[in-house]
Structures are given as structure tokens and as C-alpha cells.
Amino acid sequence: MKLDQTKIVVTGGASGMGRHFSLSLAAVGGDVAAFDVNDEGLASLAAEAKGLPGTLRTYKCNVADEAEVEASFTQAWTDFGGLNGVVNNAGIFRDGLLVKKDRNTGEVKSMSLRNWQAVIDVDLTGPFLCTRALASRLVEHGGSPGVVINIASISRHGNMGQGNYSAAKAGLHADTVVWAKELARYGIRCATIAPGFIDTPILQGMREDALAMMVKGVPLGRVGKPDEVFQGIRFIIECDYFTGRCLDIDGGLRL
């Protein structure tokens, strides 16, 4: 698939890596439907995208809400005259240990079901809903080829304090494998990208000492750049023989 022939949804497209993916795809001539829940971020994204070779449209959408996902895909499909891809990038964190005993008081605290479910809803159910929405329309309308790119994380291997996030990202890659097998007959490919520590507003907001400690574990000695993750997106879109696999873009880090 050619980059300038993509009509692609990017979830979480108004901030962080998703914003970079949206603008980069539009910059090479792709048509982008940027989904996000942030009105202000969507408005600034649309303004920044003006004048780029590709068309970028914005849609307010909570990817964990089935009705909103279906409505947004229907609208984007109409606006662009079809779609042929989705980058399932939207994600949230609600970090915490499963249980933790306070050293001073002896009180035992635990991860709330609310925080567990919130991450599963956005980071795992969201990609399911969006992939289903794209695939069902492609199959119905015979619009193959298509591509699904799931943004997982190095945390899919299991990261202390991220039981909810690790479970969601591990499940997301497992679904990539399943969907790649199920959808290949329709000309739809599915792949995962698992970034390590990437220079985004989340990392930029960390304490310098905490960030420095994290970077010590990265063999390349630095955090990654959003464009280095976008290079993985470019490869997956353009390589028609790549499916069911994961690209680890993490500087060689092991958790």
C-alpha cells in the first residue's frame, strides 16, 4: 500500500505520538481521520494540518464507546469515500501496584477495579471496536487492501506497577496475531508496534532524576523520537508481506 493512497483513522490523534502520526501521514499525502476526545487538541491539530498535501479531518470519539466508534467510522467513511486503515494508538495509564502495604501505617491499598477497567476499556476494547468497524466495512464493500496497526508497548512483557496496562498491551498484540489470521483472506493485514520510552508529553512531565534512571536501562542511552516510531508505521503500510508480527522500537530495552 502506498502512503499517499491511505485513508486512515488515527485514534488518540490529537496529542502525543498520535498527533505526530496524523500530521506525518497527511504530510506525505495520506488522508487522515483523527479521532480523539479532546476538543481543543482536535481544533489545534486541524489548524496545524492546513496546507499539507493530504486531507486531515477531526472527529470527537471515545474509542471505548461502541456507539461513538460506529458513528465516527460511518462519518469518516462517508467523508473520505471509504477507508483502508486504522492506527489504534489511543491509550491511557492508571498505574499502581496490585496491592501495597504502607510501611508506616500498615494499611493495605490495592488497584481499584475502576482503574483496571478504565485502561482495559480504552487500550484493549477500543482497538477491538475500531478494528471491527474498519474490517466490517472493508469486507462489506470489498474495499481491500486494508491495514491495521496496533500501538502496544514494551510493557506488554509485564511491567511492575502496570498490571492493567501490561495486560491490555499483551492482549492487543495477541489480537493482532488472531486478526491477521482471520482477516488475511479479505486482504487486510494487522501488525503491532511496541514502543519503548518515547519523547512525548508524558515523559517530558517526569522528574529529571526519574527519567535519567529509566534511560540508564536503554542500551542506546536515550529515549526514542516519535518519528522513529512513525518509521515503523511507514514500513508496515508499505510492506504488503508484513502481517501478524510486532516491531519493537525500544532502543534495545528489556524490562
The catalytic residue positions are 165
Measured CA to CA in angstroms, residue 214 lies from 17, 195, 205, 239, 249 at distances of: 19, 14, 14, 33, 16
DSSP state of 50: T
Sheet holding 56-60, edge to edge: 56-60, 31-36, 7-11, 85-88, 146-151, 188-195, 246-249
Q: How far apart are CA 97 and CA 112, in angstroms?
A: 10
- Beta-bridge mates of residue 8: 32, 85
- For residues 90 and 122, the answer to whether their CB atoms sit within 8 Å is yes
Angle at 91 between CA 87 and CA 94, to 5 degrees: 170
Residue type, 120: I
| Cα angle for residues 141, 146, 150 (degrees, 5° grid) | 130
Query: C-alpha distances in angstroms, 47 versus 54, 62, 64, 179?
Result: 13, 21, 26, 35
Question: Position of cell 472493508?
Answer: 138
Query: H or E segment at 193?
Result: strand 188-195
